[in-house]
A = this chain, B = another copy of it.
């Protein structure tokens, strides 16, 4: 039985808490949040498990908790997350976080990464960032699919999702039902963010293959506009307004584009799928028909990574350093 502290009791934290309760390998040993409206409440009441008897506390309570690991789902802002992780590590907890930039922090935030690595090693614990994407579909899985290749020339990944089937905050994040001007303004000012983590996935693939890229670039997301009235979780979208977005990122080496990632999410997308193509000898053409749903996938990959993080040697790790990810009972 692995004792887990749920750090962050928002939408994702609650889904993770629910998944932990549904599995026989885990026990919720504590819950932490900053929201005064839920501090003091039994976390069970937030996840359809009344009477669980685990109070939501502030992070000052971390050092009083008897646990093995922390699942941290507070924010995507790495410096904030790093401070929170630091507090968990000081107490001696392994940490698994959904913070996108933590999935491969060595390129964008090498200083923060080096400090976390040093701290984790000094306390004998493991820290890892994961999720469905970044963390699995667009980095770990393409790397794994390169194992049967004698030669790899290029890696291409496409994720195509019908956003109308995702949770509302995701539909908001990709600018659903905004007019094109408004969409572009909100992308520019950061009030909608699009997908976060394409560059982290490129950095992870390059590191895993031992490739030194000349450059890695993410293009500004482009809106996808409704061609006809389209239902969404944010109302029916009139033709000409945004139903979602397309994001791409490319890694180049020796004048060639060797890593290409494409992320498309919009309401009403047909033929959802996750595609990985490896150009090489032999070439690999993989499709996951129907795609992997983002929310369930993130919860599952995160929870299923906890035992792998606990087994791993101490330090700040990425998914490629851990034993193969897999379902945990």
A contact set with B: CB distance below 8 Å: 19, 22, 25, 132, 136-137, 140-141, 143-144, 146-152, 208-211, 280-290, 292-293, 296-297, 299-301, 303-305, 319-329
Q: Quick check: B285 and A290 within 8 Å, CB to CB?
A: yes
Cα A87 to Cα B292 with chains together (Å): 46
Q: Which residues on the B side are within 8 Å of A151 (C-beta)?
A: 22
A22 nearest CB across to chain B (Å): 7
A132 nearest CB across to chain B (Å): 6
Q: Quick check: A292 and B140 within 8 Å, CB to CB?
A: no
A81 nearest CB across to chain B (Å): 22
Q: A148-B296, A150-B19 are in contact. Are A324 and B327 (CB under 8 A)?
A: no
Nearest CB in chain B to that of A142: its residue: B326
Cα A280 to Cα B329 with chains together (Å): 12
Nearest CB in chain B to that of A304: its residue: B147
Q: Quick check: A209 and B327 within 8 Å, CB to CB?
A: yes
- Number of copies of this chain that the complex holds: 2
Cα A132 to Cα B112 with chains together (Å): 39
Q: A132-B148, A281-B296 are in contact. Are A326 and B209 (CB under 8 A)?
A: yes
Q: Which of A140, A147, A290, A329 has the most CB of B within 10 A?
A: A147
Q: Which residues on the B side are within 8 Å of A132 (C-beta)?
A: 148
Nearest CB in chain B to that of A303: its residue: B150
Q: Quick check: A292 and B284 within 8 Å, CB to CB?
A: yes
Q: Which of A132, A208, A305 has the most CB of B within 10 A?
A: A208
Q: Quick check: B289 and A287 within 8 Å, CB to CB?
A: yes
Nearest CB in chain B to that of A319: its residue: B324
A16 nearest CB across to chain B (Å): 10
Q: Which residues on the B side are within 8 Å of A287 (C-beta)?
A: 286-287, 289
Q: List 16 A-B contacts (CB under 8 A).
A: A25-B210, A132-B148, A136-B148, A140-B324, A146-B327, A147-B301, A147-B327, A150-B299, A208-B326, A209-B326, A210-B329, A281-B296, A282-B293, A285-B289, A286-B289, A320-B326
Q: Quick check: A22 and B292 within 8 Å, CB to CB?
A: no
Cα A35 to Cα B288 with chains together (Å): 46
Q: Which residues on the B side are within 8 Å of A141 (C-beta)?
A: 144
A1 nearest CB across to chain B (Å): 13
Q: Quick check: B285 and A286 within 8 Å, CB to CB?
A: no
Cα A282 to Cα B282 with chains together (Å): 30
Cα A151 to Cα B297 with chains together (Å): 11
A207 nearest CB across to chain B (Å): 10
